[in-house]
Every structure is written in C-alpha cells, then in structure tokens.
Structure 1
C-alpha cells in the first residue's frame, strides 16, 4: 500500500497543484482541469474521493455515489472528507491494486487534456443514488481499451514508479544485470534471518521494496562494481569484482542487497558456518550448508483467542540449513526437500511432474502427510515462480549526488547500515586513486590479524583514525566528509595505512593484543605520536619511549581514563603531542599527564590506586600488565611468569598451623592469597626452585639483588608464614615508593634496575 501511495503522490505532484491536506488524508489536490481529488488510506485499500463526476466514462472499479445532503458536514460513511465542498454530490472509488489506481489517475487527470475520445458507453449504474454496501455488480463501468496505457505507469524524467516481478525472475537478473556498488557494506545476515525471509515469502508477507539504479551509458568506469555472493562463508567481508566490460548493461542495487543475497543463498547457493570450539584456520572447522524445507510439516496457524501460544512472528514453516554432505533423512511423516530444486520446474507442467515424483509417489507418507506436502510444494512453487513478491523501483538519473542521496535516505531509516557505512559511500564516490572499500577492508584484516581484539575493528574506526592522524575533526558526521577533507584522506592514505600497521605491531610486541587490548582507541592515540614523531623518516620507536608508552597504556587501562568523553580526551592528547614535539621527538608522558590532570583525569598513582593494585587477583586479565609496572619491561618480553610469592597450597589450614600461625590471625593471612600484593614475575630458573622447595627455604635462597629486582622487603626475618602480615606491610611501603613516582621514574627504569644474575 505504501508503494501505491508514493506513486499517487508523485504522479499528482507533477500533474496537479497540491494543497494542504487534512491530517487523516494522504493528500488533497486541485487538478489543472478544475477537478478536485483527495486520497485516503484504509488498511489494504486506497480511497479516491472526487466530486461532480459522471459515471459514464469512469474506469473499472467499485464505485459509490452520495447525494448532496449526504455530504453535509463532510461525513460520508464515517469517512471525513473536508476537501470536498459541503452540499456537493460526491463519488468515490475503492482500489485494491496499483493497476486500478493508475487507470483512474490517467483518466481523471489527463482524459480530456490528452484528447482521448471515449467510445460511447451506457451508464450501468442505477439512476438512484446507492447506499454503501449495496452496489449492484452491474454498476461497474469500463474504461475504453484505447484509453488504457499499454506500458507500466510512468512520467518521463520525473517518477518511474514501482514494478513487481517474481523471485525467479529477479534471481535470473542477479550477477547478469543486477550488481552491488562499492558503497554497499558486505553481507551480514545470519541463517536465522534467511529462514525468516523464506517463511515470509511462503506466508505471502511483503518483504520490502527494492531500489535499483540503471547506470547511465558511459559511466560504467566511474563505479567499482561487485558480484552478489552465492556461496557465503560466515565472517567474510569480500565480494568478487563484477568483471564487466564497459558496454555491459548494469543496474546497481541501492537498497535490498541483504534480501537478494539471502534469496540467492537459499535457492542457488550455500551458507558456510564455523563449528563450535574449532579454530578458524582448520578446514574441518567449517560446514557448508544448504536450505531445506520439510514439506510434510503443517505450518503453524496464527494465534487466536483460544490458542495464544503461537507467536505471530515465529516461523510457520519448517526450514533448516543442513550440511550438504549429509542431507536430512526423512523420518516418519517428514519430507525434506532442497529448496533450490524448485528452480528446476519453471512451468506448471514441470511443477506437476515434481509433485508427482516427490509427493504422490512417496509411499512413506501418510495421507495427511501427502496432502500437506502437496500443498506446501505448490505454495513454494507459487512463492518463487508465480507471486509478484518482488517490488522494485528503478532510478535512471545520471546525477551521482542524487543517487547518493537516494542511497543514504533508503538505508538511513533503520539499523541496516551504520553511519560509517553511509559515509564510506561518499568517499568511495570521490576517491580517484584508490578503491576505498577494498583498501579499508584490507587494512581492517591486517589490524585484526595483528591485534586479535575483543571487539571488531570497524570501518568507523578506520575513518576516525584517518581523520585523527590528519588533524581533522574525527567525529563520524557528514560535515567532516566534505570534498576537501576527502582529498586529504586520499592523499595521506598510504601513510595512514603504514602508521596504523606499524602501531599494531608495536602494541603486539608490548603485549597489548587479544584480551589485553582494552580499547582499540589506543591504536589511534599511539599512531598519532608515531606519525608526528617521524614526520619524514622511517617509522621507529626508541626503547625509552617504548617503556614510557607501555606504562602510560597500563595506567590508562587501570584508571579507565578512556571510558568517557573520548572526544575531549583525544583532542587534549593530540594538542599536547603536537605542541611538545616541536624541536623534540620523545614521548611527552609528563606533559600528557599534566593535560589529563587538567581534565580531572589524573595519571598519577595515589594511595587509592595502590589499594586497588594490591587487591587485584593474580588471575585477573590485567594483572600481568599491572605487575609489569614494577619491572623494566613487559613480562613476556622478560620471559617471566606472574606468580604469587607464596603458593596457594601454603595457605591451607594445616600448612598455616604447621608454620605457627594462630587461629585468630589465619583469616587475615589467607586474605592475601592470590592477590597482587604477593605478585612476582619469575623466570624459568627461579620457577624451578620456587616449585621444588618449601616456602621458607625458597624465600631464604633469594639474593639481595633478586629481592630488589622484585621489590621485596630486605629483612630476612619477615620471610615466614607467621610474619606474612608484617611482610605485606613492608612490601606495600616498597611498592608505594616504586609506583607513586611512576611517571617521573620512567627514564631511569630501564637502566637503574638490572635483572639479578
């Protein structure tokens, strides 16, 4: 119905002077020939109200007439019609189809103006005015044959209208005429979404209109064009290039890619999914599945007052994706049918043969199952070959700006495309040297492989990073993607890729990848410093700066300084780095800390931070990074393992009793178990004695250099389980000295503390 309304409004917008309609109307119009019209929506119908029009030459449609007194107060059959004058005779027609409305509009607006002469037609409506609901069957009148347009309704240069076709005919156009422009994002639907789409087709539900664009002649080379995916692999973001020549006829899909790809997968292709608990790199981790339907399954009925258990949005037909190497076995009253086989029966005669072979000759089905299978197979055939289920609008404009505006408006109404996807379409249209879609996808793949982040690296991140590195406003909004900025992004794209890839490698070397990469935003921050500190030379990072940055990142994570107001934080950071790199190249940690402090986001390590640090469980995801703050490098780079100074087994009650710990003190001592206050990072040699000796014997074997390296108390008398509270107090004091001066002591950290021999 929305398509009919859009078509009617667009038609009238070009042929009539529109007037302000009442709120409960679609539109009200004054026609050029002096007539008036009002359009009204009512569920699956559209009402067209007119006045003072003869029935003699009206197009075929159920028509009703009302006398002048009936129209008083503009209340006709409980339908308000204030556009029509009170006291005028009124007629209205009810249209259930687009074709009927088209014929009416052609007749009503252009019949006399175009000089079409109607053949004399006797009025078949009775002379008496008809009451609503009592219209005789012979009151319908017919438009002369020569007055009916021979082609689909259209207005050249203005509005081409919606057309309808079948699923089979649409599939036949895919990857022959219909292709995907680079402005479209990759396919993202799940198997469950595909099943819901096919269930909607079987139930006769609308699946939404499509929008195509016929490329103007000579503009083929202006666009990067891709093929639809037929055999989809879960997680893939790549479509194959179209391989078209410059002379090929091409229509690009502006809206409907996900639905069309889903139909293609369900009827002609496959969907490959990863098995649970399998590594992606192994071939046995993947199952290629195709769509089946159980024809003998009775579709669920709509919920009614007596049975409300069935959800109206649940699937009513039994579809399922099945491993193509292990097709489903029909058991009992089941008949599993590969959905794509329906394409092998394009004619009713071939359909009947298929019904005979699959249903009538199937002796395993009961009479009830056979009847249901027959009905479902016929319904599937109708859904694919007969129903006009695919409504589409084709744009013929040669204006890129108009097409881009249509694309954005068509895709910005829901959640189908993110804002970054839409803005990427702008870049794709304007970049000349690079294919923006392929370039960003390759960069995303490279960063993902290097960092393996918890959250996916997206196009939005790449766009923000590119803006950020070029000292532009990095918000993802339309005004930041003006042509001048897009040119800057293209000119600096090679450098942007180089910096981001190098940054990802640095973060991985420092251990910030996988679960330890607490935010992908740190990639942008570090990349900006690396970009600015190496303006014209090969990218590099000095060891002392590496240690500054490592500690800075640990503190950002520990103090959650990137969780809120990232725009303000990033702007402050960028200004500090840019200002302090004039005449120097080292990482300005002190200045960054000062800038953050002015925002109320202190990087300094205080007493409350020490309490949180010491009480962190050693098993926590960030424990290793926090423990590394007291060491000269990241623990994996030192080839050291984080362990509790006192093993968990020594906190067992029997062990504590044997060590002389009184019962009253035991809960306090056990409270230190597996906390970072006891954390140490031991190398392979230290671990051998750590696991082999009793606690007190191992503790006594530590050299003064080892105790200093691990930031442990010097007093040997404290290394006994019954003195653990005193040992903890002494270590807290040492940790305070180490951590409270963390930012100021970075420069000396790599040289002042050497590893024990």
Structure 2
C-alpha cells in the first residue's frame, strides 16, 4: 500500500474540483469545537490521521451518485449538494475516509458555520494573533492556540485580541507577504505582541502551504462491493458507523433506479415538515423500510442488508412513503408532535396497518368505519407509549405485532384488542400508573404527552403549544418563599410541587407570551370560564399564591379523573 503525503493547501485546491464524496458517505456532523481542535492540532504539529481515497475511472463516473463537500455549513439544512459531473472527462477521486476532516478544513479556510445558540449565528474561523501558545499538559483537549468561530473579528472581553480570518492565509504564497499584509494593524502594538502575531502568521502559513500534514492511500478497484467493504472497515474507528449508516450506504450501492441517499434524506425532511414539525431521523425511516416490506427481517444486522432485500425495499419505496406520511399526518391531527412522540417505533404498526388498507387519505376520511379506526389508533398509540411497551426488546415486540397485522385488508377494523393482548397491556391506566404519572416533571420525557391527553377536544392543527407553569416558576425560589414568612415545611412543600404535572398546562404560543411571569391570581381574571374548564382549573374562592397547596391538590384530583376516563 502506497501512502502519498499531502498538504492542506493541496486538499483545499482539489476539493469539489478533483475530490468529491461518494453517496455511501454519511453527512457532516462535526461541531465548531471539533473543527477548532483540528486546526489547533495542525498548528501544534499533532498528527491528523491519513485519508482514504477511491479513484473512480471516468467511464464509471455516471454509474454512482457523487456529492460535493459542504463549504458553508447551515445547521438548518446540512445536506451535501449533488455534484454536477456534466462535462468532466477525467477520472475523479472520492473520499472514503476523511470526510469530516476535509470538510472541516474547507469550512475553516473558505467557508462558514451557521448554528443555533439562543439565536442563529453565522460564523467564520478566526485565530487570535495576540494569544501566545499555551499548551495544557493536564488537559490535552484544551486548545494551544486561539482558534474560535466568531461572527466577526471585533474584540470582546479584556484579554489582548486581534482576530485574524484563518482563510486569509490562502491569499499569500509567501509567509512574508502575509505578515506584510498585517503590518499596519500591528504597528502600534507593543513589541512582544507584535512578535507573537508575526510568529503565528508565519506558523499558520507554513502549516497550510508547506507542511505535509497527512497521507492518503488511493483505492483503485472499480468493484463497488469491494469499495463498500473498504468503506465500512475504514469507518469502524473514530465515530462509529451505525447500522443505519451501513444500510443507507448499501442501499445507495445496490438500488437500481433510485438514489437511496437522496430519496431517504428528502423523505425524512418531508416527514419532519408535517404539522408543527417532528424530529425523525434516517434511522427511523430505514427501520420502517425493513418493517413495512413483507418478509424482511427487521433487525439491524449486516447479513440482513443483502442485495435481494434492498431491491425489495426499493420496489416497495412508494408504498412505504405513503404509509408513513399518512401515519404522521394522522398523529399530527391527534395533537402529537416532536415533543410528545417519545416512542417513534410505536408508529410502525400503525403505518403497516394503513399500508395494508391502501387508503392514502385515511387521515382525512370521515367515514364511520374510518373514524372508529382513527379513535382506536389514537388510544392504542397513547397507551402503548405511556406503558413503555416499546422499551427493551423492541424488535421482538414489533415482530409480534407485524405477524398480527399481516392479513389486514382494506376493510379490516384496527385490531386494537389483539395488539393490546400481544403487548400484555390494558387500555386503561391503573391507580398505580396514574400515581406515577402525577410525579412527571416540567419538560420530562412523557410530560408533554400526558398534558396533551387532558385536552381531548382541542384543535391541534398547525398550532404550537408550550408547557407552562400555572403558578409561575419565578416565584418558587427559597429566598422569595422565606421572604413571604412561610414556615420551613411550607417552603419545602411549594418547592416539591411547583414543577410537577398538577401545576403545568399547555398554552398556545401567544397565550404563553402574554402570560409570561404574571401572577396567576391576576392572569386568571383575564380568562373566561371555558378557559378554566379546558385547563382543568379548579373552582376556588381565591387564586392567591398563599393558596397554592389547595390549588395543587384540587387540580391533581381533576387530572386523576381525566386520566381515569381514558378508556
């Protein structure tokens, strides 16, 4: 095996011109901290690993989908663009191992990184020329140099700062020219800071333009199955290659008429755009592909990703998309969203039932038999989720349910009783289960789901609902409670209860913004009787803060009665 040394500038010059990505590659996942650490390693002369390339001969370049590296990363849309190979009459190089590092180099030197932290931030990579190298032997994860993704080069804080756009170093073939470019900005600095800045500019230029930072090996086989094996083995270290990545890679290699990567990514995005939005990943869609294709094993095992199995999925792809889309539209109508679909696998038996019915508009149907099936599906989804029926051995559970649904047809009622029996659960909540539910806390795993069940007649369509403390949480601070003159026992009682289910409700976005931290005794005066009924607000002579314990116990009783009616 011949490894060829390479410089960073060589890589940057070739990216999206000579070097591309095969469709079997997963997407870019590094955060800004990993990119900063990569550049820090290069500056500090640490090894950054070797690269594995695949030379795809010109005659075969139209056989496989080819993608570009991301130059400007956007946290809202991070898919790699499809490369335009029209007019390219030469061999091309595809990266089998090293995508994360090469993309990071491209973003740091020629691109940008947009991410959300309290708000959306459009950032570029900078180096603080006034920060001396500070290696930390006790914590090698800390940066030696002052690399940082920033929205601008404006200084912040008290430490000496002169933020240099890292990509600017590409503009100069000679390090002295790069230093001369900054001469006017360095002129008024003290000598020690000026010397530090010039050393860093020179070092950065050397590490980008001159130093051989790594090596690459080029695989030349045109046998795609062999290349797939090489890819899997090369990616078994570092960030693990998940089974879903392997399935997607293999499907991309073996689907005959469709681009699996493009189809699955675009379809996942379309599912997540339904209603007020969901957070399904490719893992869920790929699992559904196995589950909704007849006679296929559903476990994520390499042996299940055979050519014949993947071809069956491709043939069934249209029906899979229809069944999943109808299912997600249906649960959206029921008020389920990204916050309360806590067991996505519970959707798969529903999707299989709808696939067997073959009615793509089932979620919008008002026929009596369809309406009855819709009600049964909603209740089954609720109880199977609340009772954690898909925890533990979920594949075994899913297989049992698939067997029960295999003979369903266009007129088959939803077999809720058989499904409950198979899951060994009852379509009601026991006293013990309700007691446990009452201990659910603000923004807990199941809290939003349970809250949504308290509003059976609410219109959920295209509305965003927020979990809200009825008595504002800002008032439940020990120092404030003691200032009210409460005894220690009452202070502890308030602290123990304010974050639990009986003090929580679901408000629309506008309601929540208008309420904000307004004391409940004031805000409830602005609401009508229907609001109080809808939110199970108990009748009381006063809603002052001193009455919180009484309110809590009465609303808890109302919630218990509402949950007992869920049958």
Structure number with the bigger relative contact order (C-alpha 8 A, sep ≥ 6) is 2
2:516 aligns to what?
Answer: none
Post-superposition Cα deviations, 1:180-225, rounded to whole Å, max 9, x if no partner, equal 1111111111111111000000011110100111102310111111
Contact 1:627 1:680 in 2 (8 A): no
Structure 1 distance, partners of 2:103, 2:80, is 11
1:544 aligns to what?
Answer: 372
1:438 matched to 2:262? The reply is: yes
Rg (Cα) greater in structure = 1
Structure 1 distance, partners of 2:8, 2:293, is 47
1:289 matched to 2:123? The reply is: yes
Change (3 A) 1:390 1:236: farther
Corresponding residue to 1:195 among 36, 50, 71: 36
2:202 aligns to what?
Answer: 378
2:387 aligns to what?
Answer: 559
Structure 2 distance, partners of 1:232, 1:725, is 50
Residue 378 of structure 1: how far off its partner (Å): 1.3
Contact 2:538 2:558 in 1 (8 A): no
1:236 aligns to what?
Answer: 77
Change (3 A) 1:330 1:586: closer
2:327 aligns to what?
Answer: 503
Residue 370 of structure 1: how far off its partner (Å): 2.0
1:596 aligns to what?
Answer: 423
- Report the 3-state secondary structure (helix = DSSP H, G, I; strand = E; otherwise coil) of the residue aligned with 2:150: strand
- Name the TM-score, length of structure 1 as normaliser: 0.60
- Report the 3-state secondary structure (helix = DSSP H, G, I; strand = E; otherwise coil) of the residue aligned with 2:45: coil
1:464 aligns to what?
Answer: 287
What does 1:108-123 correspond to in 2, within 5 Å? none
Change (3 A) 1:215 1:608: same
Post-superposition Cα deviations, 1:477-531, rounded to whole Å, max 9, x if no partner, equal 1111111111111111111111111111101000111322222212222111111
Contact 2:129 2:163 in 1 (8 A): yes
Post-superposition Cα deviations, 1:312-343, rounded to whole Å, max 9, x if no partner, equal 2311000112224x644898854322111111
Residue 606 of structure 1: how far off its partner (Å): 3.5
Change (3 A) 1:686 1:524: same
Post-superposition Cα deviations, 1:348-383, rounded to whole Å, max 9, x if no partner, equal xx3213223424883222221122222211111110
Q: Over the residues paired in the alignment, what is the CA RMSD in angstroms? A: 4.1
Structure 2 distance, partners of 1:504, 1:678, is 26
How many residue pairs align between the two structures? 504
Residue 396 of structure 1: how far off its partner (Å): 0.9
Contact 1:332 1:364 in 2 (8 A): no
Change (3 A) 1:610 1:249: closer
Corresponding residue to 2:107 among 248, 265, 271: 265
Structure 2 distance, partners of 1:726, 1:275, is 39
- Report the 3-state secondary structure (helix = DSSP H, G, I; strand = E; otherwise coil) of the residue aligned with 2:94: strand
Structure 1 stretches lacking a partner, 5+ long? 1-158, 279-285, 304-309, 649-667, 699-721, 743-757
2:512 aligns to what?
Answer: none
- Report the 3-state secondary structure (helix = DSSP H, G, I; strand = E; otherwise coil) of the residue aligned with 2:245: helix
What does 1:240-389 correspond to in 2, within 5 Å? 240-245=81-86, 247-276=89-118, 278=119, 286-301=120-135, 303=137, 310-324=138-152, 327-328=154-155, 333-346=160-173, 350-359=174-183, 362-389=186-213
Structure 2 stretches lacking a partner, 5+ long? 473-492, 508-526, 543-549
Post-superposition Cα deviations, 1:597-637, rounded to whole Å, max 9, x if no partner, equal 2xxx4445444345556777899423334435xx6x56758
Corresponding residue to 2:451 among 608, 614, 624: 624
Contact 1:298 1:317 in 2 (8 A): yes
- Name the TM-score, length of structure 2 as normaliser: 0.78
What does 1:639-658 correspond to in 2, within 5 Å? none
- Report the 3-state secondary structure (helix = DSSP H, G, I; strand = E; otherwise coil) of the residue aligned with 2:215: strand
Structure 1 distance, partners of 2:269, 2:164, is 38
